[in-house]
Structure 1
Amino acid sequence: MINQVRFITLELTMELLEYQLSERIASITINRPEKRNALNPELISALTIAFKTAVADDDVKVIVLKANGEVFSAGADLDYLKHLQNNTEDDNLTDTNLLKDLFLIIYRSSKIVIAQVEGHAIAGGCGLISVCDLIFSVPEAKFGYTEVRIGFIPAIVTCFLLRRIGEGRAKELLLSGELIAAQTAADYGLINFIYPKEEIAQAVESFARNFIQSVSANSVALGKELINSVQDLSLEDSLSLAVKMNVETRSSVDCKKGISAFLNKEKLKW
């Protein structure tokens, strides 16, 4: 069977980003290797459009975020940093909201989002992967939030990193600006899997293919919503939400199909 690959032209600058859909996997690839895949408002806007497109597409079940070149992302673009010195408060508010909106779209995505990190992820680049659901990395990659070293703070990502790795580790990374190795990042719970450079692409694809075939998209969407929501609620309120979503899931088409297949010992293809 021929692997059907669809290259999609979105309303974004294709020089900044590549978007590809193949067998329910949407691959979003940052394409500024000559700038170490640094972030600027144009790239952030392009990423936002790409993620919105993938989330809204019923043909997509997994989203993979990756980057061309030797560095995943070095953080803010140097030209953009120079421009920041002349920004008004309104300019800074607009830029900050752009990043906040992108992080929220990724974090709240109803689809699972996998970061495939084949180079250093630093400052805003590390923030970008921190809001993904799962992170695959090569052993050589380094991670860190270095904003404090230029008199800045990684403000937006702080809200997400506390949820991911807890207060103690978050303070260590966010306040020191130190870079850590991939194995340390895994030990801290920042990343999930480490694979050699020559194996990581296949590892991500294999995980995604198995995920697509073995789990219900509806269950993933509801599960992510529950996980994201209960952290902001009291125990009683979180349990009330869990009861509501449990009832909702039981009456879904996917649940009825899954139970029927299990009882009839049928292999289910999601």
Structure 2
Amino acid sequence: MSEHIPEDLVLYELNDGVATITLNRPEVRNAQNGKLLYALDRAFQRFAFDDEAKVAILAGNGPHFSSGHDLGPTGDRETTFDRVSLWWDHVGKEGAENRFARESELYVGLCRRWRDLPKPTIAAVQGACIMGGLMLAWSCDLIVASEDAYFADVAVDFGIPGVELFAHPWELGSRKAKEFLFTADRLSAGDAHAAGMVNHVVPRAELMEFSTALATRIAGRPRIGLALAKQAVNQCDDLMGYRSGTDSVFGLHQLAHAHNAEVIGHMNGPGSTDLVKKALARDAK
């Protein structure tokens, strides 16, 4: 069983209880514009409501998982979509009313919504997983990375503390998170595994086979047990400050946007697209 979500931006395939949800903008390294993220939300809704779908794998078509948010001309920043929260539409608004509304819904809101899915999810990551790509992978319960995968957040180069959903301390630990942000160096799949952010590292050719086998193994276990185990871990993370911490840093993120807009004239600062391109091209250190 296989079908395309409208506009073919996200592919959905269900086999033997495992839903494979694939980002399908390989021509821009699966950069995330609004159309892609809402198509992804529709795919996750379908997974959530289908009793035959037990576990989902989130993958990226092409050589890279995701290069993050689309900061280029196809980023559709001034486009209205069918929203899933009760925030006002950002389109036509100015200043913080625009930025806060858009990013609360499109980035933090959707990622938290996917994190709270009652069914297990696995991110299968290859190549680049940069900035907004981190938030998609972190929204999943498990991460399987290919040996050539790498992770980066260059937000400090924009004068911004980190991506909108600031899960870095929970994913990497405080000291590694600081180094990751301060240096903007790539984190290799092996280093991410050593830090506990990634569950498994496998050869690139085996990424989907391994992820599917892991998903199939999980899919055979009781649904209610899996849902409660997932909720238990997420609740413990929240009690350790995940929810309040990410809320707090989202405010700092918006402060940085406001500073850039006032001082530089652009919320991300000039050359933000070039900074992401450099992160993609930078040799691993």
**Fold-level match, TM-score > 0.5?**
yes
TM-score range, shorter chain: 0.7 to 0.9
1:39 aligns with 2:32: yes
Classify the secondary structure of the residue corresponding to 1:92. Answer: helix
The structure carrying a bigger helix percent of its residues is 1
For 1:7, give the aligned amino acid.
S
Query: Is there any run of 5+ residues in structure 2 with no aligned partner, and where?
Result: 79-92, 241-285
Indicate conservation of the 8 Å contact 2:66/2:130, yes or no. yes
Who is 1:265 aligned against?
none
Q: Distance in 1 between matches of 2:239 and 2:94?
A: 37
Report the identity percentage: 30
Q: Distance in 2 between matches of 1:87 and 1:43?
A: 24
Task: Give the letter for the 1:177 counterpart.
Answer: A
Change (3 A) 1:107 1:83: closer
**Structure 1 stretches of 5 or more lacking a match?**
1-5, 235-270
Where do residues 1-270 of structure 1 align in structure 2 (5 Å cutoff)?
A: 6-10=1-5, 12-14=6-8, 16-79=9-72, 88-97=95-104, 98-158=106-166, 160-213=167-220, 215-233=221-239
CA distance in 2, matches of 1:22, 1:87: 46
Q: For 1:22 and 1:149, locate their aligned partners in 2 and report how far apart those are by CA, in whole Å.
A: 42
- Separation in 1 of the partners of 2:142 and 2:219? 15
Larger Rg: 1
Report runs of 4+ in structure 1 exceeding 6 Å deviation: 81-87
Deviation, structure 1 residue 81: 9.0
CA RMSD of aligned residues (A): 2.3
Residue 198 (structure 1) shift: 1.5
Distance 1:90 1:13 in 2: 29
Secondary structure of the structure 2 residue equivalent to 1:132: coil
Q: How many residues align?
A: 225
The CA distance in 2 between the partners of 1:134 and 1:145, in whole Å, is 20
CA distance in 2, matches of 1:45, 1:82: 13
One-letter code of the match for 2:201? I
Q: What TM-score results when the alignment is normalised by the length of structure 1?
A: 0.76
On the 8 A contact 2:145/2:200 being kept in 1, the answer is yes
Which residue identity is paired with 2:144?
A: F
Q: Does the aligned pair in 2 maintain the 1:8–1:21 contact within 8 Å?
A: no
Separation in 2 of the partners of 1:232 and 1:218? 21
Provide the TM-score with structure 2 as the length reference.
0.72
Distance 1:87 1:203 in 2: 47
